[in-house]
Amino acid sequence: MEKNIDGEILNVPRHVAVILDGNGRWAKKRLMPRNYGHKAGAQAVEQACEDIYNLGVQYFTVYAFSTENWKRSVEEVTGIMNLLRNYLVNSIERSNKNNMRVRVIGDRTALALDIVDAIRKLEDATKQNTGLNFTIALNYGGRDELRRAMTAIAKEVKEGSAELTDITEDFISAHLDTAELPDPDLLIRTSGEERISNFLPWQIAYSEFYFTPVLWPDFKRADFVEAIRYYNKRDRRYGGVK
Ligand code: IPE
Ligand code: IPE
Ligand code: MG
């Protein structure tokens, strides 16, 4: 979608995915505990939803907690889960006010029951909204997602509801957590790391990547505009010739 952003006509990506990174370092710089950084990171996510929608983005997906993040201290994991609890409950009203639809991807079976319940309520309460599609990756790992999809497909074949010849790329996509979402056009990772860390490996096959040293809690509207400018300089060829 073409949009006039601060006097500049830019092609705005439909789906932006972000690996939110650098909360811990942001807190450390302030001589504060890591969970202080996660709190600031959560506030930055709320602001980002508004900014990015105003910029014309339709799908916004964030990596909030990976299947590997359980390796962190109990204190940190508990702190992150409590922030989530707060977010899930408090955001129903705000999401509806902003016409935002919220989804959660990842394996829910390892999450506390009250969190699973809060996710279901939030998804349900916002499913009629037609504004920003905001997706939170929670206990998400790309390899784990593929494993779950493969198990589901194998079961269908075994039980006879699917044939081997049904297994097309679209069929696989439809068995992923992201079945309802288009693939990301732009993937952003903050904090200077330039790796994927198991985020959407299938879905980002043709995404453009934007890496920035800015720590997630410091990432603002102007940084999104910078990322969209960078995206506009890319020439997406999808394997063809232009
Ligand atoms: C990202 O920030 C948030 C989560 C992974 C939950 P980090 O906690 O990874 O921050 P750094 O990388 O230690 O600075
Ligand atoms: C990736 O960040 C996971 C999330 C942002 C949720 P990490 O900080 O966990 O990744 P690594 O350890 O640097 O690869
Ligand atoms: Mg990190």
Domain ranges of the chain: 9-141+184-231
- pLDDT of 22 above 90: yes
Please name which ligand lies nearest the alpha carbon of 21.
1
* Amino acid letter for position 167: I
The residue annotated as part of the active site, out of 6, 11, 21, 183, is 21
Give me the sign of the Cα torsion angle 157, 161, 163, 167: negative
Check residue 242 and give its pLDDT.
Answer: 84
Q: What is the 3-class SS of 136-196, one letter each residue?
A: EEEEECHHHHHHHHHHHHHHHHHHCCCCHHHCCHHHHHHCCCCCCCCCCCEEEECCCCCCC
Q: What is the mean pLDDT of residues 15-42?
A: 98
**CA 115 remoteness from chain centre:** 18
pTM for this predicted structure: 0.97
Check residue 108 and give its pLDDT.
Answer: 97
Average pLDDT, the chain: 97
Nearest alpha carbon, ligand 1 atom 3:
21
Distances (CA, A) of 191 to 97, 141, 221: 31, 20, 16
Atom of ligand 1 nearest to the CA of 25: 14
DSSP H or E segment with residue 119? helix 113-126
CATH 3.40.1180.10 fits 9-141+184-231, yes or no: yes
- pLDDT of 57 above 90: yes
Q: What is the mean pLDDT of residues 184-193?
A: 98
- pLDDT of 115 above 90: yes
Q: Record the tokens describing residue 13, joined without a space.
A: 């990506």
* Residue to probe by mutation, ligand 1, list 18, 23, 72, 78, most atoms within 8 Å of CB: 23
Q: What is the mean pLDDT of residues 154-164?
A: 98
Nearest alpha carbon, ligand 1 atom 13:
24
- pLDDT of 95 above 90: yes
